[in-house]
Amino acid sequence: MLEKRGFTAEVMATDGAPVVFAERKGKSDKTLLIYNHYDVQPPEPLDLWLSPPFEPEIRDGKMYGRGVSDDKSHLTARLFAIDSILEQDGELPCNIKFIIEGEEETASEHLHEFIKQNMDKLKADACIWEFGGVDHREVPMQYLGLRGICYVELSVESLGTDVHSGLGGSILPNAAWRLTWALASLKGVDERILIPGFYDDVIQPTARDRELMDKLPDFEDEYKSRYGAKSFIKGITGGIDLKMEEVFTPTCTICGITSGYQGVGQKTVQPARASAKVDFRLVPNQKPTDILKKLRAHLDAQGFEDVEIQYHGGEPAARTDPDDPFIKIVVDAATDAFGVPMEIVPMIGGSGPNYPFVHDLGLPVATMGHGYPDTKAHAPNENIRLDLYLKHAKHMARVITEFAK
């Protein structure tokens, strides 16, 4: 598809899935880098799909299929935007490069290294991110930062075998207790993370961040009904405090724990093994490798040398300045495509591989796309709305044109 549009395209090896890189020169010296990915989430559970996940089907103005939203039709909408420019002008107004990776759904394990090894090739002036879209009010949103992440598995093996809880269990070390105490040492009931130095590198949000967050709609009622929550943590009730807390505070989340007997009723056994998955969401300028070191030092200092840490990957947070001129281009162009002004979200709580784009390549990164709240990315019946697909393509054509000037 890229070569048909006059791009030189290569499939470049990494230590994991290959990266597709493509480039076409344009009239001006400016270069726009577009990031997408070709991998998708597994389609299971299959029985919940109304049409087969890999046979795209259009019903009621939506196209259904695994990967239609995340992330294949973001790519095709962008190619159609390029078609429209080429049809009208016969050439591109600026240089456009595509970087399309195959590991976005599995933590982009080799992307950072790929970027470091291809700095010249990827040189650009601005970057368009893989996703974007409208919120529940149909307002297009500009998401300018992603939190980092440090994902670990903590595990303890206290014995070679499980043991009767009434016999040796009384005097032998219990893996489930060791893990419980180690976990409890990481964070207090007040949600304060107790690893020494954990907050050292945290950069506090600015007045401008707070101003932008304050403009966004409140969501306490929506969250309570969507997630069945009675209350929020730290006694926060809603409003700006809740919005700030969701994205500007680093976290330590237990994602799962497993140990011993988990069936019905009682089994009087003392477990030999226990493990927990823990993710830390990081804010600028925390670094996952630094957090990993501090975690190990903390566990050792607390007497938990028996707790092993397996690192499942991570990436630092990264943000783009809301007042960057490129962001203004993307935001202004949205009004024409979507009919309403785009709103700016300085940071979101999720994570993604934007760090090397922002910090290695030094680019402003803007989000734009056809996402919407019911797009069901990662879930059965993933879909796109055709009206938003068209709006995203229009938005893209306008952004390319304005950026080239």
In the complex, the smallest distance separating the C-beta of residue 344 from a second copy, rounded to whole angstroms, is 18
Give the residue with the Cβ less far from a second copy, 8 or 106: 106
Nearer to a second copy, 179 or 212 (CB): 179
Nearer Cβ to a second copy, position 270 or 375?
A: 270
Among 55, 38, 37, which residue's Cα sits nearest to residue 46?
55
Which single residue is written with the structure tokens 């090894």? 117
Distances (CA, A) of 247 to 77, 119, 194, 250, 350: 30, 30, 20, 8, 8
Nearest approach, Cβ of 94 to a second copy (angstroms)?
Answer: 33
Nearer to a second copy, 115 or 149 (CB): 149
Containing H/E element for 62? strand 62-64
Shortest distance (Å) from residue 227 CB to a second copy: 5
| 3-class SS of residue 66 | coil
Considering beta carbons, is residue 13 or 184 the nearer one to a second copy? Answer: 184
Nearest approach in angstroms of CB 196 to a second copy is 18
DSSP class of residue 238? S
Q: CB count, 10 Å around CB of 395?
A: 27
Minimum Å gap between C-beta 316 and a second copy is: 14
CB of 125 to a second copy, least distance (A): 29
Of 29 and 218, CB closest to a second copy:
218
**What tokens were used for 394?**
């229009």
Bridge partners, 371 (sequence order): 133
Nearer to a second copy, 167 or 203 (CB): 167
Amino acid occupying residue 311: Y
Helix (H) or strand (E) holding 88: helix 73-89
Nearer to a second copy, 107 or 292 (CB): 107
Tokens 């290959």 — which residue?
Answer: 18
Task: Choose between 120 and 225: whose C-beta lies nearer to a second copy.
Answer: 225
SS in 3 state form for 95-147? EEEEEEECCHHHCCCCHHHHHHHCCCCCCCCEEECCCCEECCCCCEEEECEEE
By residue count, the chain amounts to 405
- CB of residue 309 to a second copy, shortest distance in Å: 13
Nearest distance from residue 307's CB to a second copy, in Å?
Answer: 12
Q: Could you tell me the smallest distance in angstroms from the CB atom of residue 35 to a second copy? A: 19
Q: Among candidates 217, 258, 224, 254, which has minimal Cα distance to 239?
A: 217
83-114: burial string, b at 16+ Cβ within 10 Å, e else: eebeeeeeebbbbbbbbbbbbbbebbbbbbeb
